[in-house]
Amino acid sequence: MRISQFLGVALALTLALSCKNETEADKPVVAKEQGFEYVVDQFADLRILRYQIPGFDELSIKEKKLVYYLTQAGLAGRDIMWAQNYRHNLEIREALENVYSSYKGDKSVLDWKEFEIYLKRVWFSNGIHHHYSNDKLKPGFTSEYLTYLLKETDTELSGDAFDVIFNDADIKKVNKKKGVDNIASSAINFYDPDITDAEVEAFYAKVDKGSEEEPIEVGLNTKLVRENGKLVEKVYKADGMYGEAISEIIKWLEKAVEVAENEQQANTLKLLISYYQTGSLDTWDEYAISWVNSTEGNIDWIQGFVEVYNDPKGYKGSYESIIQLKDFEMSRQMAVLSENAQWFEDNSPLMEEHKKNNVVGVSYKTVIVAGEAGDASPSTPIGVNLPNNNWIRVKHGSKSVSLGNIIDAYNNAGGSGRLREFAHDEEEVALEMAYGEIGDKLHTALHEVVGHASGQINPGVGQPKETLKNYRSTLEEGRADLVALYYLMDPKIQELGLVDDYEKLGKAAYDGYIRNGLISQLIRIELGDDIEEDHMVNRQWVSAWAFEKGAADKVIDKVVRDGKTYYNINDYGKLRELFGQLLRETQRIKSEGDFQAAQDLVEGYGVKVDQALHAEVLERNAQFTAAPYSGFVNPVLEPVMNDAGEITDVILTQPESFEAQMLEYAKRYSHLSSE
């Protein structure tokens, strides 16, 4: 489970922009910290940033080798994410990249500029669908112009792969809307195009899930296809689907084993290799347990088919890789949350039968990212809590990490213009400026460490992907948000030494959440659209429910001033009580598997948008040109070799541009055929 960059950073910073002392932003900010330029590029609704890897030079050569091998393993699987996102993605990417690299004609014309923007958007999204909205990207050039470019560069792209760029087919990568066939209307390449929702449910209802106490994550590393009229799973493994890329991943992981920091780490990597070789989900669980218990050493990783947000049914994992170095000082400061996890569980507003008697092994660290790939790149989470298999979390614990240098890059690359536009008054702005950054970090920590680890499912109730179905992800993210919100205004966090004034911090966090959930996140969708992305949906249903339930006591006022809408919190204490009530109900829904209540909550509060307010927000936002979405290029790790071919050092540099990195990745890590 993960916390998105928008969920964490935008709670207080508004729209992934930091609240530094800056004038109203009317152009992209190129922020510098001791000469470091964070902003690489901006196009369409996207901004490309750089991040630093503090402490990398202090690593031993053995540790540097480990980081290098693990990042190479991650990048080796890059094509898998493209293929998973859509069946024509690799063919389209290969053609567009060849055109970009080979075309010698006039590059000053508008059509070429639009072609460049489209290609960069495709790169950013790992395919032709928007990384956040899931809508198919619309090119600003015609099919005739692309035909001309293909001919001029002797590039092949035809049939459905060409037509789909311009037509209305496969318009949604992931469709979780109510009242439609979620599988048939989703272009995601986890299922053959002719497979339906009902068929998927029927298939997985019959699949062996292991024991009731320790079920496996069925379907996690497979594609469901129709062969000879029957549904069968094609397994992702070395001699199976995506085998060419997986074999490359294994090659680099085997090198990593040789330089592991300790025996536990080496054994964990060996289990990961075995999983990739066999595709066994029992081995995946063995690996997850070993990984949770691999806590010594300075290097860690996330690697595999992990998050299921891209599957409308919540079975299939998307490929991702995040390589991490410990941030020792911040981890020490935040470890106090892990040490007090049981206190938070015991004092939560959950029903007693839904509380865990023993919160096991919740570890929390702030880490320094050294490289990302797949579903984590270019758009990255800022926090992750794994593993996702619930029984492993209960019996063996979990790891929660906050990606510290990623958050720092966001904080150093923005402005405060949007905050001032959408905040109700100067008091709200001042609280945000003073407590927004620490509030972000604490929200992320509480969301991951306490939120995802809290609560338990009633005996005999199935897993949420079976009971709550397409509402599973947004309910879980909202539940974790509510845990964080409830405790962000609790004196306990001041008692633990995490903040100097819990009330001011809580006010800043509540202001930011309501502002974001009801107003500012609307800049991310087009006028007339519903909200569909799970994190955006959960922020709206939490905020809208609290606004409605507190109306009688005027807990939150809707204020219209000079034609502009604001939300002003009048009673933070009562708002905290409302968050507690909603947390209790959300946990009940999860614990009891109450699909109808989940549907009523999400559809009633989280999906529909006030169109007049949306139009107003878009008009107010038009003055800002800084893009609402951000992602990253990765630092480049290059080995220094001696005459014997041994690595003597690993040098860290920054890529010169987004397109340079994407073309280099295409040259070095294209391990899957585009056929």
pLDDT of 492 reads 97
Contacts of 237 (CB under 8 A, 6+ apart): 221, 243, 246, 276, 277, 278, 279
Q: What pTM was computed for the model?
A: 0.81
pLDDT of 11 reads 38
Helix (H) / strand (E) containing 402: strand 398-403
Amino acid at 446: L
Q: What b-and-e string marks burial along 10-43, b requiring 16 or more CB atoms within 10 Å of the CB?
A: bbbbbbbbbbbebeebeebbebeeeeeebbbbbb
pLDDT of 322 reads 98
242-287 per-position pLDDT tens digit: 999 999 999 999 999 999 999 999 999 999 999 999 999 999 999 9
DSSP of 514-577: HHHHHTGGGGGS-TTPPP-SHHHHHHHHHHHHHHHHTTTTTSEEEEEETTEEEEEES-HHHHHH
What does the alpha-carbon distance between residue 377 and residue 322 come to, in Å, rounded to a whole number? 9
Enumerate the β-bridge partners of residue 320: 304, 374
pLDDT of 338 reads 87
Enumerate the β-bridge partners of residue 647: 641
What does the alpha-carbon distance between residue 122 and residue 663 come to, in Å, rounded to a whole number? 13
Q: Quick check: 18 and 437 in contact, CB under 8 A?
A: yes
Q: In angstroms, what CA-CA distances link 184 with 27, 187, 189, 299, 507? A: 41, 8, 11, 41, 44
Contacts of 553 (CB under 8 A, 6+ apart): 571, 574
pLDDT beneath 50: ranges in the chain? 6-33
What does the alpha-carbon distance between residue 612 and residue 620 come to, in Å, rounded to a whole number? 12
pLDDT of 80 reads 98
Enumerate the β-bridge partners of residue 241: 236
pLDDT of 206 reads 95
